[in-house]
A and B are shown apart, each in its own frame.
Chain A
Amino acid sequence: MRRNGIFAKAFCALFALFMLAPIIVVIGVSFTPTGYLEFPPSGLSLRWFRAILDNPDFITAAWISLKLALIAATLATVLAVPAALAIGRGSFRGREALQALFMSPLMVPTVVLGIAFLRFLTLVGISGTFTGMMLCHVVIVTPFILRLVLASVVGLDAATERAAIAMGASDWTVFRRITLPSILPGIVGGWVLAFITSFDELTVTVFIASPSTTTLPVRMFSHIAQTTDPLVASVSTVAILFTVALMLAVDRLYGLDKLLIGEGKS
């Protein structure tokens, strides 16, 4: 096949510049020594990174986000793995309807989900609580895990399991020694994707978070809505570094393209 010509290369370079521009700008701005947003920065200073420490709001919000994402991703994984096993290999009626239901949070616009959760939590009386927020996040991130685990369940070789059963292994042993190890990459990938989704979620959370349960994206959003100082840029830079570290770890474990494109497509 022919390689790309000069025009194609220029196009790709421009594209890369476009994709990376806002990220570079945010990181650049966060090192400014001045009190306003400036790019390129006139000097290098860690002033705005020290300022994060003086704003406990952001740190509290980051801890809430971290806790929320950890619990929501883990709970959703515990729910999604049996569901994926049942949907992936069972042949009961309503299987497709069940899958459609579990995937449906991806189809409903997030604004609609946000107000629906707010209305529900208010009527039940747990609006603004961490528990309420956690339940909502479990619903939002489940489809991401289900999709990846389902892909690895479908790719599973049933013969190995039958062999184990024939040799006298109990159901639990088969699951622990055969099934679980073969779908583990899918589970890990799904968990990470769910974690990132929950950690970055804004549109739903902006409706259901209360001042005492504000997550990091919501905190940053309301900060940007009021004022733009380099403080949000330095918080963003820390968040970007955190994401990059996580991405590198995932790439080692699972392969980033596999995680985001989903198996079967590539």
Chain B
Amino acid sequence: MLLLFALMLLVPLLMTLVLSFNSFDFYKGIGSDLSLANYAEVLGDGYFYEIFGRTFGIALATTLICAAIGVPLAWFLNRMTPFWRSVMVLVVLGPLLISVVVRTLGWAIILGNKGVLNGALMDLGLIERPIRLMYSSGGIVLALVHVMLPYMVLAVWAALQRADASAEAAAESLGARPWTVFRRVVLPQAMPGVLSGSLIVFALSASAFATPAIIGGRRVKVAATAVHDEFMNTLNWPLGAAIAMILLVAIMAVMLTWTRLVEARVGKEYA
């Protein structure tokens, strides 16, 4: 097994790293020389800045929305009767088992110009012309939130289950209103879950492929779909590998910084 992992995981990753330094010629193919030319091309081109900016913007927006929905939901989940709780857990977990392609197809049908959402809004007279949701960053965020929410809810719920339920009861008996209980008691206790959930959601959203590829199409590219394009259409593998390596390093840098910040600020308090 160690052999399989060394051969099938470490060697390919190293090869990709080397590949990202190789040169590429449209006629001659992949060269064997090593240079930083691919990185210079990616880092020196406004087009790629736009792609990376969009990728991390989408990931950040998805993370924030997931946290905003996930925290209250996990709290309500804790206060439900066992029957409704198991129903809601099924609603949260079930989609995880259904292919991302299928779920994104559903969103494509909902978000299209003649789609379910625009149709409903126009029937209600709220809008006159369809809003463009397909092939937009907003549409990608919406579909990604759907894919990522289960991870956030699970992380926050796990944190709340470790929390002390009597603190809430104490706050209530002292006359705190629900909003105050939420803000002063539940939210601080949920924080460790929110932080670890955000980490997962951000990393997965920044490297997501299927959802941005279907909702964003060729017009609204993110890093992962740009890599796919270089590999499968332009066939400039070295450039694609360089984009992928930059994505990998950027995600890892964000995750490490995030973990450090969390440990420095709140780690000891919540440990």
- Contact residues of A with B, CB < 8 Å? 1-5, 8, 11-12, 15-16, 18-26, 29, 37, 39, 79-80, 82-83, 98, 101-102, 104-105, 108-112, 115-120, 123, 135-136, 138-139, 142, 196, 199-200, 202-203, 206-207, 217, 220-221, 224-225, 228, 232-233, 236, 239-240, 243, 246-247, 256-257, 260-261, 265-266
Contacts and interface: CB of A to CB of B under 8 A. Distances in A.
Contact of A15 (B8, B73, B143, B244): B73
14 contacts: A19-B92, A21-B110, A26-B102, A37-B109, A80-B1, A109-B207, A109-B251, A112-B248, A115-B240, A117-B12, A120-B12, A200-B101, A202-B100, A207-B232
Contact of B15 (A116, A221, A243): A116
B172 A111 contact: no
A110 B165 CA distance: 39
Contacts of B8: 117, 120, 135-136, 138-139
Contacts of A1: 78-79, 165, 168-169
Contacts of B78: 1
Given A15-B91, A243-B99, 14 more contacts: A3-B79, A22-B146, A108-B248, A116-B13, A117-B12, A119-B15, A119-B241, A135-B4, A203-B224, A206-B228, A236-B101, A246-B97, A256-B93, A265-B154
Interface string B191-235: 000000000000100110110011000000001100110011000
A111 B209 contact: yes
Contact of B106 (A5, A8, A11, A21): A21
Contacts of A19: 91-92, 94-95, 146, 149
B89 A202 contact: no
A83 B247 contact: no
A73 B99 CA distance: 17
Contacts of B223: 111
Given A1-B165, A1-B169, A22 B5 contact: no
Contact of B161 (A79, A217, A243, A266): A266
B147 to A, nearest CB: 10
Given A26-B105, A111-B247, A2 B79 contact: yes
Contact of A22 (B76, B106, B241, B244): B106
Contacts of A20: 91, 95
A5 B231 contact: no
Interface in B115-147: 116, 143, 146
